[in-house]
Every structure is written in C-alpha cells, then in structure tokens.
A and B are shown apart, each in its own frame.
Chain A
Amino acid sequence: MSGAPVIELDSVSTVFGKTCVHRDLNLRVEAGQIVGLLGGSGSGKTTLLREMLGLLRPTSGQVRLFGSDLNSGDVAEQRAIRRRLGMLFQHGALFSALSVFDNIAFPLRELRCLDEDWIRRLVHLKLAMVELEPAHGDLMPAELSGGMVKRVALARALSLEPELLLLDEPTAGLDPDRSQNFVDLVGSLQQALGLTVVMVTHDLSTLAGLATHVAVLADQHIIAFGPKHEVMTVDHPFVTGFFGADRRKLL
C-alpha cells in the first residue's frame, strides 16, 4: 500500500442556507485506523459522514478518498471508489422489499459478473461473519429485531469487501449487552479484514471498546484529532464535558 491517506478532508466548508456547519475543516485518516468522530448534537457529524460518502458535496474544499477526489467528474472512477467503501446507516437502510439474503446479495449482483453459486457462498460467508444463521437469510427486514437489522446492514456493507467502513451510530438503539457484542464483532472483523473504520457515535463504551483514534468536531471544525488518550486530555469545554468523570474509564 502506498502512503496516500484513506480519507483526506482538505479545508472543507459546508453552508446550509445561512447556517455554517463546517468551516475550514481538515482531517486525515490513515489506513488501519479506527476513528471515532465525536461531537454534540447538531454539530454536523452525519453531514461530514455524508460528505465522505459523496452523498453531499461540500460548499468548498476537497474530499479525497484513497487519494482521489470524490467530486471529480469521472463516473467510472467514482464508482470504483465507492466499491471500496461500505456504509452502515443509522437505521440500517435495508431494502424492505428484499429478504435478508437478497439485501446482502444486492451489491454483489449489481457487479453483474459473479454467478449465483459464487454469490450464494459469499452471502453465507457474510452471514457467518456477523454471526447470523443461514436460515435468517429468508427473513424480511420487517421481521428482524433492532440488533439483527444492524448485523444484516453490516453484512451488506461488507459484501463488497470494502477497505473503508463508515458507521453512523452503530450501537444506537441497542441494549448494552448487544451493543458490546456489536462492538466486539466490528473489532474482530476490523482485525480480520484490515479495515479502516470511521464511526459517528455518542456512546462512550462503543468509543472505548473500538476506537484507536478520536476526532472531536466542535465549533465548526475538528478541534482535536489523535490517539484516544491524547484527545481526552485536550482542554476544551466540549471534550471535558463529554468525557467528564468517565475520563478514567476510557483509559
């Protein structure tokens, strides 16, 4: 692998109407890092994630994934980049008309060059990876519990073997036990597959369990970025308020 960072945000600014969400925001995520993106409600974390995905174009500045600009014109190149990342949406965003199996198979089928047997094996691999039974493949998304929706969504995000995984509130809405399981699951997958992970989260235990690096989004830019223990010592009202008394628990 060459030295190009997986994600590079270069003086990104985002303006919605009169509200300025990001101003001159810079961030570099290197391969293999698990970055937890923190920030208060409404500080633009999800917006930032959507910009990394290319779903939203920043008002100014550049977003580079794997060293190439996401908003450059070439359609084929953009598609190739998108195949290298997987996204886990906050509410799963499973296609409700498709069964679990078809949801996971969907990105593979869209490649149009894999045969059904290959796809079937891959889907069963992914199901096993997220610790679901093959029988679960026949269920419809409406029949799944919240935790299972997250697992299936993770399996779908992983189906194209991405190098970069983006997670939006991966453990929101799960009970502590399940959320711990999910954290372990993502952690072990990250090690097995060598993923780079960026996640938005409010949950301290998710952050403590998973993240190697922490980026703090406040005052419209990244006020701190670095290894977990370094960021916690930063003297900023948001950081001290967020970690507060739990600072020790994280270390």
Chain B
Amino acid sequence: MNEPPRLQIESGKIVLSGAWTLAAMLPELTALRTQLAECRAGATAWDLSRLSRIDSAAAVLLWRTWGGTWPAHLDVAPLHREVLSRVAELPDEIPAAAVQRFQLVEYFGRLTLRALANLQGMVALFGQLILDLSYLARHPSDLPRKELFANIYKAGAQALPVTALVGFLIGITISYLSALQLKGFGADIFIVNILGISIIRELGPVLVAVLVAGRSGSAMTAQIGVMRVTEEIDALSTIGVSRSIRVVLPKIVGLTIAMPLVVLWTSAVALLGGMVAAMLQLDLSLIYFIENLPRAVPVSNLYIGLGKGFVFGFVIALVACHFGLKVKPNTESLSANTTRAVVTAITSVILVDAIFAIFTRHIGVPGL
C-alpha cells in the first residue's frame, strides 16, 4: 500500500519520496537516520514535493536534521509544509521535566511529617469511632448489624483454616527444636512450660496478627480505597448514610471482636501441634501434657493472650481503615496505601506487643 520512505540525491538536491510516517519509517529507521546525517553536511536544497505523506514524527526528524532552521531551498507541497511549520513553531529548547534531587534531611523530614500526619489521622479516626459508638449507644437501631456480622465472618470465620494450618506447623517446629535442647539436659517435661507460655502468651496472638494484617487488613484498605476511587463513599454520604458508621465502624468493631476468638483457636491448634511433636519426639503422652498444662501455665497468660488479640485486632483495623480513607482516585495510590497499611499494621502490632511485654512482666510467670 504505502510506498516506503526513500531518499536520493539528484543534481545537488536531496529528494525525499514515499510515505514519511512513523509506521513506514520504523523498519529502516537507523538506515534513514544515517542517510539524513550524511546529507546534512553540504546540502542546502531539499525537494519534498514527491512525498506522499509526512507526519509529525518525520517532520521532527527532518527539522532536527536541518538544525532547527528552514533550509535555503525547499520544495514542498503546502499541506506538507503545514506539518513542518507546526514543528518549527515549537520552541527549540523544550525544558526537560525537573528531576528531584535526593536530599537526606528533606527525605527524613518528609518521612517524619508523614508519620505525624498518619498518627493524627488515626487519632481522629479513633475519636470519630468513639463518637459513633456513643451515638449508637443512644440509637441502637442504627447499628449496622449486617455489615458487622459480615465482617466478623470474613475476618474471623474465614480465617480459621489458614491460621490453624500455620499455627499447627509453628507448634510442631517449636516443639521439635525445644525437644532437641531439653533432651540434652534431661528436662523433657519442661516442654509443657515452654510451649504453653510461648504459644498462649506470645506466639499465638502475634502469629494471628501478622496473618490477619496481611489477609483482612489489606482487604479492608483495598475495599475502602476502591470505594473511594469509584465514588461509592461519596454516594453513601449523599444518601444520608454516615460512612464512618456504615463502612469504618463495622470493620473495626468486627475485627476487634473476631481477633481474640481467632487467637484462642490458633493457640489451641498450635498447642496441639506441639503436643503431637512432643509425643513423637519425647514420648510424652497427650494426657500428661494436658494434665500438666494448667499447672505449668497460669491462667492469666490466657487472659494476656486474649487481651493482646483484642488490641491487635483493633490496631490492624484502625490502621487499615485509615489508609483506605487516604486512597486518592488512582491505581498508584491504591497500591501504595495497601502496602503501607499492611506494613504499618504489622509494625504497630509488634510495637504494641513490646509494650504489653513490659507492662505484664510480673503477671502470669510461674514461680519455679
């Protein structure tokens, strides 16, 4: 169909013919560019009258070959001259987009300011939650039951299989590793203490928190984020439904209720895994293990574990909702905020866990 772009030199004139378009030039672009570069040296006369088509890509190429000025002699059809003159009208030096230089102080300053802004946002969200709860206490019929139960089901019931699997495997791992050490000291029966305290008090809640932050936390951020992108959140407000009561509150309350239950479940399954491993490795019977568990592990450890689950669930949901509400209507912001939500949630959970460890250091530790 289109004849390919050609360049010849006829009696001192450079003659271009064929279709000089991006699509037609592409297969032989390098050859054409070297030909043009060779011609540039002495040529002042150009004959473009035999062109069948020229597009702006080719016009830019020619204009650059000419060094940004019209050649002394130029034959060209008026229609094609128009294309060329559009290129000629462009300023020669088009400023490149300014590249931001990396500066350490500025970087850390921005980081700190962003962290503070996030903290402020979460405090504001917390305040809003308190206000909503007090409103719901006065108007119990406005409680978004359906959403609440849906969230408990999604974040709690549907998380049971995966937390059980991970908990069981972790229980086996710890039991095996401890058993190897304990055998050396002949202190086999202390496996009950080690497993009981570490899983019920520490590992169960943290393990579940990490899993739930990755599973439900990211889902919450993404859901609220997409609702913002598609303006569903705004639609809710126009119908006169409070977005914080209908969207945020069920998520936070739901996860806060569901987390301790999932923690209980996971700790139980992890202990089961540990018991099975102890039975195989140390010949410790299951009955013995269960009989000695209450003696080795004071019940306050269980309360601490459940308390942690409660607080962790709240923290994860609060962080997830905060970042979800921060999503701007574009895909980049959605992915960035989801990542931030998960990372921040896990980090804050570990932080809260450390605080828990400090303040409960005298509680529930069995005296030997």
Contact of A118 with B64 in the complex, beta carbons under 8 Å: yes
Bound complex: CA A137 to CA B21 (Å): 24
Extra 4 A-B pairs, beta carbons < 8 Å, given A122-B56, A125-B56: A66-B1, A97-B331, A121-B94, A161-B22
Nearest-CB residue, chain B, relative to A140:
B330
Bound complex: CA A114 to CA B328 (Å): 33
Bound complex: CA A158 to CA B298 (Å): 73
Q: Does B82 reach chain A (CB closer than 8 Å)?
A: yes
Bound complex: CA A227 to CA B96 (Å): 47
Q: Give the chain B neighbours of A138 by CB distance below 8 A.
A: 97
Bound complex: CA A122 to CA B56 (Å): 7
Q: Does A23 reach chain B (CB closer than 8 Å)?
A: no
Q: Give the chain A neighbours of B328 by CB distance below 8 A.
A: 142
Contact of A121 with B60 in the complex, beta carbons under 8 Å: yes
Contact of B330 with A142 in the complex, beta carbons under 8 Å: yes
Chain B, 1-48, CB within 8 A of any chain A CB: 1-2, 21-23, 26, 29-30
Q: Which of B61, B83, B332 contacts A96 (CB 8 A)?
A: B332
Cβ contacts A to B, 11 pairs, < 8 Å: A66-B1, A80-B23, A83-B26, A114-B57, A120-B96, A126-B56, A138-B97, A141-B330, A160-B22, A161-B21, A193-B55
Query: Nearest-CB distance from B338 to chain A (Å)?
Result: 14
Q: Does A172 reach chain B (CB closer than 8 Å)?
A: no
Query: Nearest-CB distance from B218 to chain A (Å)?
Result: 19
Q: Which of A114, A134, A140 contacts B94 (CB 8 A)?
A: A134
Query: Nearest-CB distance from B281 to chain A (Å)?
Result: 52
Q: Give the chain A neighbours of B82 by CB distance below 8 A.
A: 192
Query: Nearest-CB distance from B94 to chain A (Å)?
Result: 5
Nearest-CB residue, chain A, relative to B331:
A96
Q: With A1-B2, A138-B97, A160-B23 in contact, do A124 and B90 touch (Cβ < 8 Å)?
A: yes
Contact of A121 with B332 in the complex, beta carbons under 8 Å: no
Bound complex: CA A163 to CA B94 (Å): 28
Contact of A125 with B1 in the complex, beta carbons under 8 Å: no
Query: Nearest-CB distance from B106 to chain A (Å)?
Result: 20
Q: Which of B1, B61, B329, B330 contacts A2 (CB 8 A)?
A: B1
Chain A facing B: main interface SS: helix
Nearest-CB residue, chain A, relative to B2:
A1
Q: With A101-B97, A113-B26, A142-B329 in contact, do A67 and B1 touch (Cβ < 8 Å)?
A: yes
Nearest-CB residue, chain B, relative to A114:
B57
Q: Give the chain A neighbours of B30 by CB distance below 8 A.
A: 113
Query: Nearest-CB distance from B344 to chain A (Å)?
Result: 22
Q: Give the chain B neighbours of A194 by CB distance below 8 A.
A: 53
Nearest-CB residue, chain B, relative to A141:
B330
Q: Does B86 reach chain A (CB closer than 8 Å)?
A: yes
Nearest-CB residue, chain B, relative to A101:
B97
Task: Give the interface of A toward B (CB within 8 A).
Answer: 1-2, 4, 66-67, 80, 83-84, 96-97, 101, 111, 113-114, 116-118, 120-122, 124-126, 128-129, 134, 137-138, 140-142, 160-161, 163, 192-194
Bound complex: CA A96 to CA B61 (Å): 30
Bound complex: CA A198 to CA B260 (Å): 60
Nearest-CB residue, chain B, relative to A126:
B56
Q: Give the chain B neighbours of A96 by CB distance below 8 A.
A: 329-332
Bound complex: CA A161 to CA B54 (Å): 10
What are the 3 A-B residue pairs with the smallest beta carbon separation, nearest first?
Answer: A96-B330, A97-B332, A161-B55
Q: Give the chain B neighbours of A116 by CB distance below 8 A.
A: 96
Contact of A97 with B56 in the complex, beta carbons under 8 Å: no
Query: Nearest-CB distance from B334 to chain A (Å)?
Result: 9
Q: Give the chain B neighbours of A129 by CB distance below 8 A.
A: 86
Contact of A1 with B1 in the complex, beta carbons under 8 Å: yes
Bound complex: CA A84 to CA B90 (Å): 25
Q: Give the chain A neighbours of B83 by CB distance below 8 A.
A: 192
Q: Give the chain A neighbours of B191 by CB distance below 8 A.
A: none
Chain B, 302-335, CB within 8 A of any chain A CB: 328-332
Q: Give the chain B neighbours of A2 by CB distance below 8 A.
A: 1
Q: Give the chain B neighbours of A134 by CB distance below 8 A.
A: 94
Query: Nearest-CB distance from A112 to chain B (Å)?
Result: 10
Nearest-CB residue, chain A, relative to B334:
A96
Query: Nearest-CB distance from B139 to chain A (Å)?
Result: 37
Q: With A97-B332, A140-B330 in contact, do A84 and B23 touch (Cβ < 8 Å)?
A: yes
Bound complex: CA A96 to CA B94 (Å): 24
Bound complex: CA A126 to CA B87 (Å): 10
Q: Give the chain B neighbours of A101 by CB distance below 8 A.
A: 97
Q: Which of B21, B60, B64 contacts A125 (CB 8 A)?
A: B60
Query: Nearest-CB distance from B347 to chain A (Å)?
Result: 26
Q: Give the chain A neighbours of B60 by CB distance below 8 A.
A: 118, 121-122, 125
Q: Which of A122, A137, A140 contacts B57 (CB 8 A)?
A: A122
